[in-house]
Amino acid sequence: MNEVQNGMAARTFYQWDDSGKINGQWFDSRGKQLELTGHLHENELLVYWKEKGGEQGKSHYRYQPEDDTWVVQDYIKIKEVYQLFAEASYRRK
């Protein structure tokens, strides 16, 4: 993984079955490896991530076909509560 100044780089690998169940791994420039589990349903992907004995969270990806946009919300789990820490939207040109 390449070093990034003032940021973080990550590489994620997903596998999913015909029912939409997802498993995967996340590797990042901090040296973290996170286990990924989740589910793909219609226009939404919900992925839970956790590091063994460390951080936990979830990422919610939602496609909005009316404006061809993906909305992504990332949450970190603190004291058993998911707290939003990042949100982005991506629109195709």
- Per-residue pLDDT of 28-51, as tens digits, reads 998 899 999 999 999 999 999 999
Distance CA 73, CA 91 (A): 15
Among 89, 77, 79, CA closest to 34: 77
CA dihedral over 77, 82, 83, 85, signed as positive or negative? positive
Q: What is the mean pLDDT of residues 3-15?
A: 82
Mean pLDDT, all residues of the chain: 91
- Per-residue pLDDT of 63-72, as tens digits, reads 999 999 999 9
Map residue 1 onto helix, strand or coil: coil
Q: What is the mean pLDDT of residues 5-25?
A: 89
Token output for 67:
């404006």
Q: What is the pLDDT of residue 3?
A: 59
* For the chain, domain boundaries: 10-91
More confident residue, 6 or 51: 51
Distance CA 74, CA 49 (A): 10
Q: What is the pLDDT of residue 92?
A: 82
